[in-house]
Each structure stands twice: as C-alpha cells, then as structure tokens.
Amino acid sequence: MDGTDTAEHTEVVDDTASAQGDGAGCYVNPSGEFTRDQNYIATRVTADGADGYPVEPGRYRLVVARACPWANRAIIVRRLLGLEAVLSMGITGPTHDQRSWTFDLDPGGRDPVLGIERLQEAFFARFPGYDRGITVPAIVDIPTGRVVTNDFSQITLDLSTEWRAHHRPGAPDLYPEARRDEIDEVAELVFRDVNNGVYRCGFAGSQRAYEASYHRLFARLDWLSERLAGQRYLVGDTITEADVRLFTTLARFDPVYHGHFKCNRQKLSELPVLWAYAKDLFQTPGFGDTTDFDHIKRHYYQVHTDINPTAIVPAGPDLSGWLAPHGREVLGGRPFGEGTPPGPPPPDEAVPVEHTPSDSQAVRG
C-alpha cells in the first residue's frame, strides 16, 4: 500500500486497559455504566494478501504490552504456534501516558526494529492525526513503519489460520474448523461477561451499574465453573482460542480485578474449579512463561489514577500457588492435541524471573 490511508476502521464496543481514557488517568464513567466505543483498524494480514498485506516472514512486527490482557493473548498464541522466527515482537513498558505506549524498556527508549519511541508514531505514519486509541496488540509493517491492524480479536485468529504455513512442527490447532462455532459462542460469552465484565465493574460510575456488572460477572464465572468441572478445557479435549481468551483475565483476577476493580465476591484462588483450571494452563508452556505479574500490577495501579490516586502498587498477592498441583490431569484431555509443547521462549523475550513465581516458591502437597 502506497501513501497514507484515511478511514479504514471497524467499530467495536470494548473496555480495555490498553485504551488511553481521557488522557488524564480518568476511566470511570460518572454517569453510570461504563461503555466505550473503540475503533479498531480492520486491515488484516492474510495468506492471499487481500488487504494489501500478505503474510511474509520477517516483514511485520507484533507490538505488545505484557500488562495488557488483550495483548497477552497474542503473545501466547504466537508462542504456542512457534511464530517467533517469522513474526518479531516489540515489547512496550507497562504504563502509558495520554499519547501512547512507549518503548521505555529498550536501550535509548526506542524499539530496535522500528526505531520509534512511541507506538503512536506507527499509527500516525499510516493515519496522520489519528485520534482514536493507540492500542496493543498492534501489527506494524516494518518496511513502511505503518500500523497494519490493532484488531486484537482478529489478530489471534489470523495467526492460527492465515500464518499456518509458518507454524512450528507440532503446533496445536487453536481454532479447529469443526469446533469454530462453539469456540466463537463460548468466547463471546466470556468476552461479554468476564473479559469485558471486569472493566464494567471497575469503571462503573454508579452503585447500580457496578452491582449489575458484578452479578453478571460472577454468574458467568459460576457457569464456567460448572462447565469446567467435568472437562479439562472449554471446548473439546484440547486447548483452543477460547482457553487463551479466558486465561488472560483469570491471571489478572487476584492481582488486580479482585481489589482494584471491586470484583470481590471471591478471589480466583477461592473458586476451586477455575483456580485449578487456571493453574493447569499457567503450568502449560506458552501461558505462565508469558505472564508478567509485575507489569500487570504496575499498569493497572499506576495508570488508572481515578481509581487509585496514589498510584501505589500492592506488594501482593503471593504467587506461589500458581505452581501448586492442579489435579486436572484426571479429566484427561490432550493439551496440544496431536501436537507438542513449544520450546523455551527466546532469551530476549523471557519474562524476568522476579516477575513470575519460581519453583522455589511453589507450595507443594
């Protein structure tokens, strides 16, 4: 694609930690129920290049923030499918200002591949004056420095379907054709009531709106507990896209959503089925080794200053339980189907050991 583009967006209702609020740390809707119309760039990277961006090894960079649940999905899927060698990844810091996410973790504060300080620069390169949320995950075209898409829901599906020729040997099928209708149905319920539900609790501006979202959230968590009591994974006997989408919210539940967003009927660790399910996934390669609890906490508690004016980051919770036995093996299931686990993450993408539970912390027995 030559030149810059005008409007090429799809409107999605979403409440995301990746959005910039009003630029002053204000996210709560003072009129009551929190809803936000987010516009995501609908362009896709596909095998046939129908939108002008064909799948090509080395051409694109996936920009993520480990703090963000929507970006964490893309990190997990990329790793499970073994796309590290063909789709590079840039990692922003855990916080942002009103302008955008920044590459403050990199030497000189610049992404070493894109050469930019802020993700905003990639959006402006394609859409000058872009006035919508600068969100992660985003895929950037390296030769032009222009953002291709930030449609987080479609990105992970396309990694499974459009990038298939570049999957590692033994990569799992996270979006099997025979199960897609069920995966989509479950994922939609999880998004509406859980992924998005925690934000509707946390950003509600009235007691009535908060309590409605609170009850809806925990009713869905109870439904999920019932569904998972007799099966290891959400759809079928293998890990699918539906499990990835639920996991990133569960991983943030006790560190953030229980207190910060007032989702406090119970902690995740007090919901036996969901806690065991989350631990099972966390201990599966590709999930726990891409989860950065330090970044997660710093993002929410330091960015949402209308909820947490002091920006003090809690010291807890204790993370050792994530490595405790989960007992879900008795339900059977094949985590990777006919495939195999991914190898260890590249050293430059490994989560710092101090940001995740270690074997020495694990509670055994």
> What does the pLDDT read at residue 38?
61
Strands 60-64 and 88-91, bridge-based pairing: parallel
pLDDT at 4: 53
Residue-range domains of the chain with CATH: 9-166 (3.40.30.10), 177-338 (1.20.1050.10)
Of the pLDDT bands very low, low, confident and very high (cuts 50, 70, 90), residue 359 is: low
Note whether 197 and 245 are within 8 A (CB).
Answer: no
pLDDT above 70: percentage of residues in the chain: 89
Nearest partner of 94 among 250, 232, 270, 294, judged by Cα: 294
Nearest to 260 by CA among 222, 311, 217, 218: 311
Residue with tokens 């509670």: 363
Question: Which among 355, 304, 312 has a CA at the least distance from the CA of 15?
Answer: 304
> Residue 169 has which token pair?
């040997």
Could you tell me which of 281, 291, 223 has the C-alpha nearest to residue 256? 291
| Lowest mean pLDDT, pick from 7-21, 230-244, 262-276 | 7-21
Which residues are catalytic, by number?
68, 199
Is residue 17 over pLDDT 80? no
Tens-digit pLDDT profile for residues 340-350: 999 999 999 99
pLDDT level of residue 24 (50, 70, 90 thresholds): low
Q: Which of 7-16, 281-290, 296-305 has the lowest average pLDDT?
A: 7-16
What average pLDDT does the structure give for the chain? 91
Contacting residues for 7 by C-beta, under 8 A, at least 6 apart: none
**What is residue 1's predicted lDDT score, i.e. its pLDDT?**
41
Cα–Cα distance measured from residue 192 to residue 210, given in angstroms and rounded to the nearest whole number: 15
Of 42-46, 80-84, 212-216, 361-365, the one with minimum mean pLDDT is: 361-365
pLDDT tens string 87-133: 999 999 999 988 899 999 999 999 999 999 999 999 999 999 998 88
pLDDT at 29 over 70: no
- Please state, in angstroms and as integers, the Cα–Cα distance from residue 94 to each residue in 103, 118, 123, 209, 247, following that order: 10, 13, 19, 29, 19
Q: What is the pLDDT of residues 296-309, one digit of tens each?
A: 999 999 999 999 99
CA 155, 138, 305, 11 torsion-angle sign: negative
Res. 5 pLDDT band, cuts 50 70 90: low
Distance between alpha carbon 287 and the CA centroid of its chain, in Å?
A: 11
- Cα dihedral 263, 269, 274, 277 sign: positive
Of the candidates 68, 105, 70, the one whose C-alpha atom is nearest the C-alpha of residue 90 is 105
Residue 28 binned pLDDT confidence (cut-offs 50, 70, 90): confident
Residues in Cβ contact with 81 at an 8 Å cutoff, skipping those fewer than 6 apart: 159, 160, 163, 167, 168, 171, 172, 174
Does residue 221 carry a pLDDT above 70? yes
Rg (CA), the chain: 19
Return d(Cα 204, Cα 135) in angstroms, integer.
21
Residues 6 or more apart from 220 whose CB is under 8 A from it? 189, 190, 193, 194, 197
- pLDDT at residue 20, rounded to an integer: 40
What pLDDT shows up at residue 172?
A: 98
